[in-house]
Amino acid sequence: MRSKNTTPLIAALSVAAAATLILTGCNEASAAKPAGFTPQQMADGLFVVMSSDRAVYTKQVVNRLQNEEKVIKASEHWQDEKGLPLPAQMFRMGAETVAGKNPGFTYSLLSLWPINKQNAPKTEAEIAGLKFISDNKGTTNYYTEEVLGGQKYYTAVYADVAVSAACVKCHNNHDDSPKTDFALNDVMGGVVIRLPLK
């Protein structure tokens, strides 16, 4: 139960801390004079934190404990099977925890080939963004603006790449996966970050 509570919290705090640093600046000079980050710089900074945390969790927690030391398995049904949350689940739990704290920005992990259909792209920006990063093999990010619910957002889409054989194997074998021929380093989906604009 402890891991259930702390994992998303750590992720949420990391993202929130990064957002705070980016927004406020982290040295005296920037505190005296706001750095004036652009929405793109802000989104890029958030993504660096998110992707780094996720990579650390994937390599230092899941891969080490499951594949190297064979201490515990990662499982989609990690609570019932007393295992570790999958990296994608950890990422989503972090996103939901962040949303619960209402820091002003939101992020989500979506895919053109989602296992859970609720994670398919919905808005025009999501559809265009996920197609763009997939067509470009994840080499270029996608940035745009969109209006949702009467609010204007800066929306950035970053490629989510299959970084390990475990990602590929799990998605290709999952009963609900609409795509079963993923290969290592393929773009499997995208991280969508939204910042509200005035």
Partner 1 sequence: MAPKQKWLWCAWIALTLSLAVIATTYSFGPGRQWLLPGKTTHGHYQIELSCDACHTPWLGVAEKACQNCHAAELKAADDSHPKSKFTDPRNADRLRLVKADDCVVCHREHLPEQTRSMGITMPMDYCYHCHQQTLTDRPSHKDFGFETCATAGCHNYHDNTALYENFLLRHANEPDVTRAPQTPALNLLATLIEEGAFTPRPALTSEDPDGPASATLNAEGLSEWLGTAHAQAGVNCTDCHEQPDGPNLPKRWVDKPDHAACAVCHATEQSGFLSGKHGMRLSKNLPAMTPQQARQPMKPKAAHVELTCVSCHGAHGFNTGSAAVDACLSCHNDAHSLAYKSSGHFTLWLAEASGDAPPGSGVSCATCHMPREQTESRGQQLVHVQHNQNANLRPNEKMIRSVCLNCHGLGFSLDALADTALIGTNFIGRPSLHIESIDLALRRQMTLKKTKPETSK
Residue closer to partner 1 (CB basis): 102 or 139: 102
Cβ neighbours for 46, distance < 8 A, ≥ 6 positions apart? 15, 18, 19, 22, 105, 107, 193
Provide the minimum distance between the beta carbon of 107 and partner 1 in the complex, in angstroms, as a whole number: 9
Residue closer to partner 1 (CB basis): 26 or 197: 197
Residue closer to partner 1 (CB basis): 69 or 175: 175
Residue closer to partner 1 (CB basis): 23 or 115: 115
Residues at the site binding partner 1, with contacts judged by CB under 8 A: 1, 76-77, 79-80, 96-97, 99-100, 102, 106, 108, 117-118, 122-123, 126, 148-151, 153, 172-173, 175, 180-181, 192, 194
Contacts by 77-84, CB closer than 8 A, 24 or more apart? 79/4, 84/3
Q: Which has the closest alpha carbon to 77: 175, 157, 183?
A: 175
Q: Which has the closest alpha carbon to 43: 157, 139, 119?
A: 157
Distance CA 92, CA 37 (A): 26
Provide the minimum distance between the beta carbon of 196 and partner 1 in the complex, in angstroms, as a whole number: 8
Provide the minimum distance between the beta carbon of 101 and partner 1 in the complex, in angstroms, as a whole number: 9
Provide the minimum distance between the beta carbon of 26 and partner 1 in the complex, in angstroms, as a whole number: 28
